[in-house]
Amino acid sequence: MLKMRKWLLLAGVLAALSGGLVHADLDLNDFDDDSMRDMDDANKDLGPVLGARNAEAALADTQVIQNVLKETEAYFAKKGGTDDAVKIAQQGEASLAAVVAALGKNDFDTAAAAARDTAKNCRTCHDLYKPLTK
């Protein structure tokens, strides 16, 4: 069993590395890093405010994240050849819609689960596109 886990881990690392190499030559110098930092801050804040059952702050965070995801989707759609990034942004938007819907029902547990999905979604895109240096 341990040997199988090592192989699966190795396969995952190789997949992540190969995915990152596919986009290593993509020029992202015109990408808005400030908005990405705003989204990262909102993502980091979202979990704790959901834990505190602060729907107002959670909705403000989701709005920031949603705005940046829409910008990101448009950026990569215009860039071309980055269909996976467009799809990842759309999936993030769907996760955020689930957060908002759950908040509308005062279901903070479901909102928190959807927020975690959103954060995982962001990490997926960063694994593929975030440049090591810029």
Taking the CA atoms of 94, 100, 106 and 111 in sequence, report the sign of the dihedral they define. Answer: positive
Quick: pLDDT tens for 76-102.
999 888 899 999 999 999 999 999 999
Quick: pLDDT tens for 17-76.
444 444 556 777 788 888 889 999 999 999 999 999 999 999 999 999 999 999 999 999
**Are 66 and 110 within 8 A, CB to CB?**
no
> Domain coordinates of the chain in residue numbers?
2-129
DSSP class per residue in 4-68: HHHHHHHHHHHHHHHHHHHTTT---TTS-HHHHHHHHHHHHHHHHHHHTT-HHHHHHHHHHHHHH
pLDDT at residue 115 is higher than 70 = yes
| CATH code of the domain made up of 2-129 | 1.20.120
